[in-house]
Amino acid sequence: MIAPSNKAYVPFVSVENMMRLVHAIGIETMLKGIAQEIEADFKRWESFDKCPRVASHSHDGVIELMPTSDGELYGFKYVNGHPKNMKEGLQTVTAFGLLADVNNGYPLLLTEMTLLTALRTAAMSALAAKHLAPKGARTHAIIGNGAQCEFQAIAMRALVGADKVRLYDIDPAATAKAMRNLTGRGLELTACTSAEEAVEGADIVTTCTADKQYATILTDNLVGPGIHINAVGGDCPGKTELHRDILMRSSIFVEFPPQTRIEGEIQQLDADHPVTELWQVMAGQTPGRRSERDITLFDSVGFAIEDFSALRYVRERLTGTPYFERLDMLADPDDPRDLFGMLDRAQPVLSPAM
């Protein structure tokens, strides 16, 4: 636990310090660590407050708050999703998050979560594949080679052992970027010219495109028996990646059904279409893959408990490191009732900014 010199100071992890922390720990080690925290929290799923994320949709994108609490700690993430940003040289997704003490409401950590969300999304994907993918899965097709691509590839290798990666994007420059970034990381890389070529021979298929629209990245004829699909890109109303017929043939696993039915691939299906909550698989309450020919589908939209797990992981790893700053963001008067007195006494010391 971090012990700031003054209780009113809050540890803050900037983008620069998050990058330092990732390199100090090692990206594969960090992905495994976050996945371990997520799995531990999913196994105690029923101890969390749960609600669909609070979303404010606009024509160009969405801004969301994702809160949860286990009764001891409270966490939330602010995150946006604006596909048009890429054309303007901006990130499609940006985020920050906070962890607080439920007993007194004081923040314990404030951190960037643009990088951390990419890490936890990839860790969650690989964790789901560990439970659902065919035994001995080695070949991983990634359709959509944008900002999430490399994280997904490295996580699947770290947690599942999928070391053959087939890459496809409608923009060849995105695939070339991913090939450069993943070279020298122990992966056998293949750049493909179509989704069909990428999926050929794949044990795991990850779809992670960015456009905010109903799309058909995978058609039914491309999906053979025994495959595991990791559907990451369909994550808001009106945005999907898979043909409906694929869903009808698949065993579907989700995080939190009330959220996924609004935002995930299953928004294409009837409201009573059966799905399995992934936490039940991790807790040993229900089986995951039932046969070698089973088509398993993780309809991933991201849920607040995963961010909570990532926040806890970062907070625990900060102890004894220089990878955070102390923010003076909480008033701390000597007498808790005398907030005005604290302000008044500061007047001779603090001159107004000109």
Chain segment 202-259, per-residue pLDDT in tens: 999 999 986 656 678 888 999 999 999 999 976 667 778 899 999 999 999 999 999 9
Q: Mean pLDDT across the stretch 327-352?
A: 87
Average pLDDT, rounded, for the chain: 93
Domain with CATH 3.40.50.720 in the chain: 124-302
Asked if residues 79 and 111 have their Cβ atoms less than 8 Å apart, the reply is no
The burial of 268, by beta-carbon neighbours within 10 Å (0-12 exposed, 13-18 middle, 19 or more buried), is given as middle
Amino acid identity at 132: L
Give the model's confidence band at 349: pLDDT under 50 very low, under 70 low, under 90 confident, else very high.
low
Per-residue tokens: 22: 């990732």
User: Which pLDDT tens digit goes with each residue over 126-154?
Assistant: 999 999 999 999 999 999 999 999 999 99
Q: Mean pLDDT across the stretch 116-128?
A: 97
Of residues 117 and 91, more confidently modeled: 117
Radius of gyration of the chain (CA): 22
- What's the pTM value of the predicted model, to 2 decimals? 0.93
Lowest-confidence range among 150-164, 185-199, 236-250? 236-250
CATH classification code of 124-302: 3.40.50.720
> In this predicted structure, what is the pLDDT of residue 113?
98
Q: Mean pLDDT across the stretch 281-290?
A: 96
Number of H helices, E strands in the chain: 11, 17
Asked if residues 102 and 76 have their Cβ atoms less than 8 Å apart, the reply is no
Give the model's confidence band at 86: pLDDT under 50 very low, under 70 low, under 90 confident, else very high.
confident
Give the model's confidence band at 350: pLDDT under 50 very low, under 70 low, under 90 confident, else very high.
low
Amino acid identity at 191: A
Q: Mean pLDDT across the stretch 160-179?
A: 97
The total of other beta-carbon atoms located within 10 Å of residue 33's CB is 20
User: Taking 90 as the threshold, does the pLDDT of residue 260 lie above it?
Assistant: yes
Catalytic residue check, 171: no
Distance CA 73, CA 102 (A): 5
Contacts of 232 (CB under 8 A, 6+ apart): 121, 125, 144, 148, 152, 206, 207, 208, 300
> In this predicted structure, what is the pLDDT of residue 217?
84
> In this predicted structure, what is the pLDDT of residue 237?
76
The burial of 122, by beta-carbon neighbours within 10 Å (0-12 exposed, 13-18 middle, 19 or more buried), is given as buried
Most confident of 158-162, 209-213, 327-331: 158-162
Task: Out of 3.90.550.10, 3.30.450.20, 3.40.1440.60, 3.30.1780.10, select the CATH number for domain 9-115+306-330.
Answer: 3.30.1780.10
| Cα angle 187-193-198, degrees, rounded to a multiple of 5 | 50
Give the model's confidence band at 300: pLDDT under 50 very low, under 70 low, under 90 confident, else very high.
very high
Q: Out of 41, 169, 203, 235, which one is annotated catalytic? A: 235
Per-residue tokens: 60: 């160009």
For tokens 């007195």, the residue is 341
Asked if residues 231 and 253 have their Cβ atoms less than 8 Å apart, the reply is no
Domain with CATH 3.30.1780.10 in the chain: 9-115+306-330
